[in-house]
Structure 1
Amino acid sequence: MKITELYPDVITEGLNYELKTVLSQDNPLKWAKTIVRFANGEGGIIFVGVNDNRDAFGLSIEEIDKMKNLVVQINDRHIFPHAKYAFSMRSVDNDAERFILAIKVFLSDSVVRYRDGDFNETVYVKGDGYTTPASPEEIVSLSRKKHGVDNSVSDVPYDKKEWSRYLTVCGQYRKNNSLPDEKELQNEQIVSKDGYATTGLLMFKNDYNDPDSMITCRLWRGSNKAGEVLDTGRYTGPLLDVFDNALTFIERNTKIGWKKTSEGGREEIRSYPREAVREVLVNAIAHRDYSIMGTQIDVDIYQDRIEVVSPGSWLLPKPYEQYPVGSIPSIRRNQTIAACLDVANLMERGGTGFQTIAGSYRQAEPEKQPIVASYPGFLKLTLFDLLYGNSTDNENLADFDAVIEEDESVTEDQRKIVQLLRDGPMAPKELQEASSYQSRGSFLKYVINPLLADNKIRKGAKGGRLTTYELVNKSES
């Protein structure tokens, strides 16, 4: 009998497990390091009485008892802190004479080591399909993951002058523009009772500049990463500064249009609801796994969508789509960072951020509803462009063309430029190639600058070769 037949309800594609014929008493490290690895990772199961071909031949009751006693003995003498585990058995024959021993190892709250002698301790983690000693960097990362990166009390006294930028943002978003005082921050456990900042609050300090706060933003031509990057930004620093810079990048590189109202006026519409964009960024900052070294939040803007990828897997037991709208439980990976965002009135205390995102898209077609996708090690949230390819956008552009046609001051070259920009932002060099001007200076003076002055187009990305221009759909009337 194969082990997969004996344990069809347990062995799954994503399960961590190892197969052992027996547990050696002479060389316990050979199997005990797997216990350490599982305790340091996501837990797992060791099946004893199985060969390399996955044949479950089983062990006698006497042998099972010896294996259990050996695990207890090695865990007590060599594994620190002691691993938590549970034994179970299943018979491999009808006579119930031979059994498979399953040792289920649970995830530990601390970094687990294998101790060999008084001064030799090794931390074991999962390698590329095997168990390997952890490097110093991996031990630091593992420790941060186990103990949290934001809830320890630092040795930095809280001084509101050193957090003035954080307090300024609090004033912008809080009711009545009030600022939190030290007592409120202490009540939220953001500042200790004796006045010291937590490590989470340090990430909002004016001079914070560690790379773990990074958000990388890119604007792509087209619908995938095979196209040209039209604009890019890499932002580090205090978390709310990074948030503000990323929000500005998205605002700069997405459309703001308008639609006719029943009263004959015009109403502003956006490619992406402002509240949805804000919630996506805030949730990415609050819930990313800061213990994964060398990573950042990625924001990619395509012609039809925005994708925000954040390090750290989905924390809930079921996929996002299996929770009814309005009933997603609130689980926070970074308690103090989330509390800082709560105090600033940027994050919903009830964990309703995803509901806010879904609510802002309630009038959108089914194919344009936001998507949450969880992968091993990261989470991706996709927002779709509400103006892309729909009738409102087409009517908007048609009305825009009519205004251009009726304006006798618009030259033929300018009409060509407007037509090209209907497909999205473009660089000056590309636009000039479609005009009759050979001189860049003359092209800018007689084609681009008048369109800018009349607010028919605007600058997108700023800075050198990455400068782009785009239509200003919102101001036509």
Structure 2
Amino acid sequence: MTNEELLQQLKFIQNMKCETQTLELKSAEKGCPTRLYDSLSSFSNQDSGGIIVFGVDEAQGYKEVGVYDAQDIQKKINEQCLQMEPVVRPILTVVEKDGMTFAAAEIPGVDLAERPCYYKGKGRLKGSYTRIGDSDEPMTEYEIYSYEAYRKKYQDDIREVKRASLQALDKTALEKYIILLKEGKPKLSVMDEQSIYELMSITRNHIVTLSSVLLFSLYPQAYFPQFCITAVVVPGKEIGEVDSDGARFTDNARIEGTIPEMLEEAISFVKRNMRKKTIINPATGKREDRTDYPVTAIREAILNALVHRDYSIHTEGMPIQILMFEDRMEIRNPGGIYGRMSIDQLGKVQADTRNPVLALALEVLGITENRYSGIPTIRREMKAYNLVPADFLDERGNFIVKFYKKSLEESVDDNDLIAFCHIPRSRKEICDFLAVKSVSYAIKRYVQPLIESGKIKMTIPDTPKSPKQKYFS
């Protein structure tokens, strides 16, 4: 950060009077804050990193108070950075303004393979933080585990299930799978059955794997009761609303069985609870029935949840959820985006696969293509239905897909956009949500007025035109 950029940052703080996803304020009028590790950790654990500005007192209405000693504060900031694991290497800037001195520490995001960055004095479990809006929050045990799982390439889909046995599997379904596996594989075809089981992870050390239980067990939920789907229909727009009879749900189901069985039953549940209307197809001139949402898109979203959810011991108590509201539908699955993938990259680049053996098995069974086509299919189907794009969210260990009933022609008011930006959104995401092709027009027409009124903020306020800029409410 240059001196001029720090001065611009101070000007932004006085205009907006707030902290952001990438900006933290510290007074430091009478000394260096002794507890910087929460911000050092949270900024290091996000790709964009963050900036800590010293010399502004939030408690006094963001008053500029300056720092006590420019040289000493830089020394003490570095001392605290050395107490982090891995060590944080800040970029320090000092500037004078109106007879006062201000300092800033730019904290770079550490590589995913080195996360979480934590304070050694509290240890990895208690010293790891994540940035939520303008707040530093302790990481959950699962969030910490998810970094380790990616770094060490854990394969929870083939962990051993010692309670299960080959005799408890559906023999007919398993035999069909073996036949399909052998097709076009002459070397595999000459192997004996037990060798194929071990090689293809049906068993591991001669113990049935989790994938085998999920695909071929007569009743997988006997071993893992919450590896299921819970589906509800809410008579309103939020959980807790009730209908005229006081019922919280107008339909409510617990969907169990193997993955193929849960997929079909979940689709049936959604079909049963979607409205149908008859339209005239403008291309053919023929009458046809249309549901609230395209069934093909729904199938892809449910299948993605079943294939890519986290199956570790940390999520054994968490089912996949299908929530059908008056204006939208949400599909939630335990386990956020895996690996280095970001929301912006979904459907555009090849992703790391959390459950590779399970994904391959479903490909062999003809249930999924396993070609990373799910997200593009959802987007294409929603557009063909003339509906606003589906919303993909990664929220602290949960991946969420939201389908909206709103058509592309329906106008979006400020409250809709503010609600959409409850998590930071890129320019492209905002354009897709608004169904506007021009990025510059979308930002100028819809976003800029909300920034000026303080209802929407920028994640990188010091460089408004940054390609990594995002907007949040």
Q: Output the TM-score relative to the length of structure 1.
A: 0.54
Aligned-residue offset at 1:51:
3.6
> Is 1:334 equivalent to 2:348 in the alignment?
no
Aligned residue number for residue 331 of structure 2: 308
Gaps of 5+ in 2: 1-6, 408-473
Q: Give the 3 Å change call, closer, same or farther, for CA 184–66 of structure 1 in structure 2.
A: farther
Render the CA deviation track for 1:302-347: whole Å, top value 9, x for unaligned. 6786443445556754558xx8xxx622325623344443343333
SS for the counterpart of 2:351 is coil
**What are the within-5 Å matches in structure 2 for residues 1-12 of structure 1?**
3-5=9-11
Equivalent in 228, 234, 247 of residue 267 of structure 2:
247
Render the CA deviation track for 1:334-371: whole Å, top value 9, x for unaligned. 2334444334333332211123334445653x2x3552
**What are the within-5 Å matches in structure 2 for residues 258-277 of structure 1?**
271=291, 273-277=294-298
> Is 1:299 equivalent to 2:303 in the alignment?
no
Aligned-residue offset at 1:253:
4.0
Q: Give the 3 Å change call, closer, same or farther, for CA 333–156 of structure 1 in structure 2.
A: same
**Letter of the 2:155 counterpart:** N
Equivalent in 342, 352, 355 of residue 373 of structure 2:
352
**What are the within-5 Å matches in structure 2 for residues 187-336 of structure 1?**
190=201, 203-204=214-215, 206=217, 207-209=219-221, 210-219=224-233, 226-227=242-243, 229-236=249-256, 238-254=258-274, 271=291, 273-288=294-309, 295-301=318-324, 306-311=329-334, 317=342, 319=344, 328-332=348-352, 334-336=354-356
Render the CA deviation track for 1:400-441: whole Å, top value 9, x for unaligned. xxxxxxxxxxxxxxxxxxxxxxxxxxxxxxxxxxxxxxxxxx
SS for the counterpart of 1:213 is coil
Aligned residue number for residue 461 of structure 2: none
Aligned-residue offset at 1:233:
0.1
Render the CA deviation track for 1:156-196: whole Å, top value 9, x for unaligned. 47965555389469859x799999988778777x5688566
Render the CA deviation track for 1:374-418: whole Å, top value 9, x for unaligned. 3644423317599xxxxxxxxxxxxxxxxxxxxxxxxxxxxxxxx
Aligned residue number for residue 70 of structure 1: 79
- In 1: Cα distance, 2:46 partner to 2:159 partner: 27
Aligned-residue offset at 1:282:
0.5
- In 2: Cα distance, 1:143 partner to 1:150 partner: 10
Aligned-residue offset at 1:69:
4.4
Aligned residue number for residue 85 of structure 1: 88
- In 2: Cα distance, 1:170 partner to 1:221 partner: 43
- In 1: Cα distance, 2:370 partner to 2:101 partner: 56
SS for the counterpart of 1:93 is strand
Q: Percent identity?
A: 17
Aligned residue number for residue 103 of structure 1: 107
Aligned residue number for residue 170 of structure 2: 164
Q: Does the 8 Å CA contact 1:170/1:177 hold for their aligned counterparts?
A: no
Q: Does the 8 Å CA contact 1:115/1:122 hold for their aligned counterparts?
A: no
Q: Does the 8 Å CA contact 1:314/1:379 hold for their aligned counterparts?
A: no
SS for the counterpart of 1:35 is helix
Q: Output the TM-score relative to the length of structure 2.
A: 0.55
Q: Does the 8 Å CA contact 1:287/1:333 hold for their aligned counterparts?
A: yes
> Is 1:151 equivalent to 2:160 in the alignment?
no
Structural RMSD (CA): 5.6
- In 2: Cα distance, 1:166 partner to 1:304 partner: 43
- In 2: Cα distance, 1:355 partner to 1:90 partner: 44
- In 2: Cα distance, 1:23 partner to 1:214 partner: 55
SS for the counterpart of 2:90 is strand
Q: Give the 3 Å change call, closer, same or farther, for CA 284–90 of structure 1 in structure 2.
A: same
- In 1: Cα distance, 2:181 partner to 2:274 partner: 28
Q: Give the 3 Å change call, closer, same or farther, for CA 298–270 of structure 1 in structure 2.
A: same
Q: Give the 3 Å change call, closer, same or farther, for CA 363–130 of structure 1 in structure 2.
A: closer
Aligned-residue offset at 1:216:
1.6
Aligned-residue offset at 1:243:
2.6
**Letter of the 1:276 counterpart:** A
- In 2: Cα distance, 1:385 partner to 1:20 partner: 43
Equivalent in 10, 14, 19 of residue 25 of structure 2:
19
SS for the counterpart of 1:351 is coil
Render the CA deviation track for 1:65-116: whole Å, top value 9, x for unaligned. 52364145423xxxxxx22533213342389986422233536655666455
**Letter of the 2:107 counterpart:** I
Q: Does the 8 Å CA contact 1:217/1:300 hold for their aligned counterparts?
A: yes
Aligned-residue offset at 1:215:
1.7
Q: Does the 8 Å CA contact 2:343/2:394 hold for their aligned counterparts?
A: no
Q: Does the 8 Å CA contact 2:393/2:401 hold for their aligned counterparts?
A: yes
> Between Structure 1 and Structure 2, how many residues are aligned?
361
SS for the counterpart of 2:36 is helix
Q: Give the 3 Å change call, closer, same or farther, for CA 186–14 of structure 1 in structure 2.
A: farther
Equivalent in 400, 417, 428 of residue 379 of structure 1:
400
Render the CA deviation track for 1:194-237: whole Å, top value 9, x for unaligned. 56666566554625433542322124567875445332102346
